[in-house]
Structure 1
Amino acid sequence: MNPHAIFVLILNLLVIGGFSYFIYLRLNNSPARKLYFPALFFKVACGLALGLLYFYYYQKGDTVFYFNAAKDLLKFPIADYLQEVFFTKIPYNQRSTLPMVKITSLFLWVTGSNYWLATIYFSLFSFCGCFYFVHQLAKKYPEFKMTAAISFLFYPSVMFWSSGILKESVVFGIVMFLSGFLIRYYFWRKINIWQVFIFMTGGWLMLVLKYYIAAVFLPVVVVVFLLSFANNSDKIKNSKPVYKYFGLVLLVAGVVIWASNMQYNLDITRIFSVVKDNQQQILATGNPENMIHFLDESQSILMVFPNLIIALFSGLFGPVFPQMTSFLQVTLCIENLMVLVLFFTSLNRKIKVSDDNRVLIYGGVIYILILATLLSYATPDFGTLTRYKVYFMPYFLMFILCKNLLVSKLKSLIKFL
C-alpha cells in the first residue's frame, strides 16, 4: 500500500470515527444511548461480511457490479466525470442500476476506490437512519426500547441485507429517517426546514432507486401526516362524521392517484400486467425449489385473491423450510420459525390502541400488509424476497414483539434464574 493510499485510509477512518462519536455525544438524553456502539459495530460488521461473501464466495452480485461499474466511471477525466454524474440524463434501460453506480462512485472518489471504506459509509448511513428511528420511538415509549432495538438494530437478516454497497442500504436508511421524522412530528409536532428538505430529497431518491417501495411508503406517510394534522384541528374534529368520512375518501383517492403517477409502471392501467409479467419471468427462469408456489390463475381471475394471501404469508413467514445448503439459509430458516412462533404467541395478548397513536399503528399495519403482499406476489423468488423483506419485516417484528406473552415469560424466567 503506497503512502497516498495509507493517508486516504487514515483520513477516512478519522472522518468515520469522528462523525460516529459526534452523533453519540448528541444522544445524552436518549434512552437508547447504551445501544449505540454495539449496534454500530454490528451494522458495520454486516456490511463487511456482505462484501466478503460476494467478493470471495459468490464472486459476483449487485455489490460487485456497482463497485466495478463505479470504478470504470471514475476513469473519466474529472470534468467529464462530474458531467456524467450530475448532469447526464439516465437512459431508460439503465434506470435500475446507473443511479446506484453514480452514488457508489462518489464514495469511491473520496476513499481512493477502497471498497471496504465505501461499504462502511453505506452501512453507517443505513445505521444512522435506523438508530434515529429507534431514538425517537424510545423517547416516547421507553418501555419498548429493546423491542425496537431488536427489530431495527439487531435482527440479523435485516441488518445484513441493508448494509454495504446495496440499494437496500440507501433506501432502507431513507425509510428509517423519514419514519423517524414522522414519529417526531406525530407526537411532538416538531419539524424544521432541514427535515422537510431531507424528506423531499429522500423521497426523490427512493423513487429513483426503488420506485415500488416509494409508491407504498410515501403515500402511507403522507396520509398519516395529514390525518395527524386533522386530528389536532378543532374545526375538523368538531365537524360532522359524514364530512370526515367524505374527506377521508377524497384523501385516499388522491393519494392513490398520486402514487399511480409516480412512475410509468405504476399507472393503474399497467401495474397489474407489469407485476404479473415480472412474476412469470422469475417463475420461468428461477429454481422451483426456491419459489413461492401459487395457484393457477389461468382458469379464473378470482384465483388472484387466494394467491395474494399465499404471497402475504410467504412474505411474512417464508421460507420456513428452504434448501439448507448454506449457513445463510440455515439462519434464515431459524429466523422465520422464530417469527412464526412469535406471531402465534402474540395473538392472545390484550393491547388497547389509544386515540393518540391509533392512526400511526393503522398506517404501519397497512404498510406492512400492502408491501409484504405485493413484493412477494411480484417477486416469488425467496432469495430476492429475503433482501426485500428489510423494508417491512422490522415493523412487523416490532408489532409482534410488543407485549408478547412468550417474551414476557422468558423475561420472567431469566429474572427468576
Structure 2
Amino acid sequence: MLFRLVLALGLNAGLLLLLWRWLPRVRQLPTVGKWVLPTLTLKLVATALAVWLMSEDARYFTLWATRMTDQLHQAPAQWLYMLGQDEFRWRSWKLIFHGFSNTLFLMKLLSVLNLASLGSAWLNGCYLSLFSFVSGWELVRKLRLRWPETPAGAGVGAFLCWPTVVYWTSGLTKESLLVGSGALVLALMMHLGYGGTQRRGWALASLVVVVGLHFKMRYFFAVVLFGVLAGLALVLVLQRLGTARSRLGQAIVMLGLLLLGAWAASEVSPVFRANKFTSQLQRNYTELLASSGQRPHLEYPRLQPTTESVLWHTPKAVFNTLSRPWPWEGGTLLYVVAGLENLLLLALLAVAVVATAQGRGGRLPFGVVLALLLYCVILAALLGLTTPNLGTLNRYRVTFLPFLVFLALQNDYTARLLRRVGL
C-alpha cells in the first residue's frame, strides 16, 4: 500500500509540474493569454459539477476500471495481454465487447490513471478534463501563431467557453477525450501543413499517437475528420505544385477524395456499402426512437433504408441537429438552457452567412474552412438521422460543435464583438 501511495504522489507531482511549465507558454499569447486562468477555473468548476452529478455510464466506467487496476497490481502480465483483447477476465469478473468499443478502451485507460488517482473519480475526472482543456488551448495557440489576423477569441469561445462543450468535455466522459484529441489532430495538421520546418519529426510522431486515440474514441466520426483533413493535405500538395488554387478547384479535390474514399471503403468491406449503411442507419434510428419514450425526440415517419430517402432527409436532419431542442421543449431547466444555446448558435450562423455573402467572412484559408465545414455538416447529418433522442443528440453533437462555432466566429462582425469583450 505504501508503494502505491508513493507512486501516486510521484505521478501527480509529475503531472502538476508539466501543467506548471505549460501554463506560461499559453499565457504569453497576445490578447487571449489573459483568458487561460479564467477558462481553467471554469473547466474545474464544470468538472466538479460533472463528477458530483456522475452519470450511470461514469459509475460503470469507474467500477470496471478499478477491477482492471486490481489485475494490473496483482497480475501485470495478464493485464498487458488484456489490453489487446476485446474482453476482460479477472477472478469472477467477466466483461466482453465486440469490435471497436470506446467504452472498453476508456476503462483500460482509466485503469492506468488509477495508478495516480488511487481510484478517485474526482481525480480521474480532472485528468480527462485537463486533457481536453490543454488540447483546446494548444489549438488556439497554433491558430494564433499561424494566422494572427484571424479573430483571436474564436478558438477560445468555441473550445473553452461554449457551455455544452465545456460541460460535456468535463469529468468522466468519452467526449473529453474525443473532442480533445480532435482539437490536437487539427492543431498538429495546421503545424505540418501551414507551419515551418521546425520540430516536424516530433509533430508527426505526436500526430500518429493522437490519431490513434481519436480513432479509438469514436472510429466512425474519426474517419470523417481524417477524410476531410486528407483532402486538405492533398489541396496543399497540389497548391505547391501550382494547381488547385481556386476555391472551386479546392472543393472538387476535397469532395472527389471523400467520394473516392467512400467507394474504396465499400469495396474493401460490405459494411460501408450504401445499402448496408442505410439499413444500419434506419435500424439505429428505429431502436433509439423506441427507447426515447415520452422524452422529446425527432421523428422522420417517411425515412426508409435507401440512399434516396437518406439524402432527402439530410437537410432536415442537419437543421434538427443544430436547432433542437427549442427552449420550450422538454419542460426542464436543462432543456431550456440547451434551447437558448441553440438560438444563439443559429443567430451566429445567420450572421456568418450574411457576412460571407458580403465578402466579410474572415481571413482563415478557404481550404481550412471547407474541410471543417464538410466535417460538421456530415456529422450533423449522421447524428440527426440516427439520434432521435434530443438529450443524447445534444451530447453527441459536441463532437463537431466547437469546430462549427469556431467557423461561425471568424467573420468581421463577430470578430468586432469578440474584441469588445476582450477576446
**Residues 12-31 of structure 1, C-alpha deviations (whole Å, 9 max, x = no match):** 55334322111123337523
Match of 1:23 in 2: 22
Aligned positions, number:
404
Work out whether 1:287 is the aligned partner of 2:293.
yes
AA aligned opposite 1:168: E
Structure 2 unaligned runs (5+)?
88-95
Offset, 1:8: 6.7
Alignment RMSD:
3.4
Determine which of 76, 81, 94 is the counterpart of 1:79: 76
Offset, 1:182: 1.7
What TM-score, normalized by structure 1, do the two folds share?
0.85
CA distance in 1, matches of 2:178, 2:351: 32
CA distance in 2, matches of 1:73, 1:22: 32
Determine which of 311, 318, 332 is the counterpart of 1:305: 311
Specify whether residues 84 and 384 from structure 1 end up closer, same or farther in structure 2 by C-alpha distance, changes over 3 A only: farther
AA aligned opposite 2:213: L
CA distance in 1, matches of 2:160, 2:118: 29
AA aligned opposite 2:53: L
Determine which of 369, 378, 393 is the counterpart of 1:370: 378
Match of 1:199 in 2: 207
SS in 1 for 2:354: coil
Work out whether 1:62 is the aligned partner of 2:57.
yes
Percent same amino acid at aligned positions?
20
Offset, 1:79: 2.1
Match of 1:179 in 2: 186
CA distance in 1, matches of 2:138, 2:265: 27
Specify whether residues 355 and 50 from structure 1 end up closer, same or farther in structure 2 by C-alpha distance, changes over 3 A only: closer
Match of 1:112 in 2: 118
CA distance in 2, matches of 1:109, 1:388: 30
CA distance in 1, matches of 2:4, 2:140: 36
Work out whether 1:212 is the aligned partner of 2:224.
no
SS in 2 for 1:270: helix
Offset, 1:338: 1.3
AA aligned opposite 2:45: A
CA distance in 2, matches of 1:394, 1:247: 25
Structure 1 unaligned runs (5+)?
55-59
Offset, 1:84: 4.2
Specify whether residues 156 and 250 from structure 1 end up closer, same or farther in structure 2 by C-alpha distance, changes over 3 A only: closer
AA aligned opposite 2:98: N
Specify whether residues 265 and 170 from structure 1 end up closer, same or farther in structure 2 by C-alpha distance, changes over 3 A only: farther
User: Do the aligned partners of 1:297 and 1:303 also contact (CA within 8 Å) in 2?
Assistant: yes
CA distance in 1, matches of 2:80, 2:2: 30
CA distance in 1, matches of 2:345, 2:392: 19
User: Do the aligned partners of 2:296 and 2:390 also contact (CA within 8 Å) in 1?
Assistant: yes
Offset, 1:334: 1.7
Offset, 1:405: 3.9
Determine which of 154, 157, 160 is the counterpart of 2:161: 154
Offset, 1:116: 1.0
User: Do the aligned partners of 1:74 and 1:81 also contact (CA within 8 Å) in 2?
Assistant: no
What TM-score, normalized by structure 2, do the two folds share?
0.83
- The range that moved more, 103-112 or 40-49, is 40-49
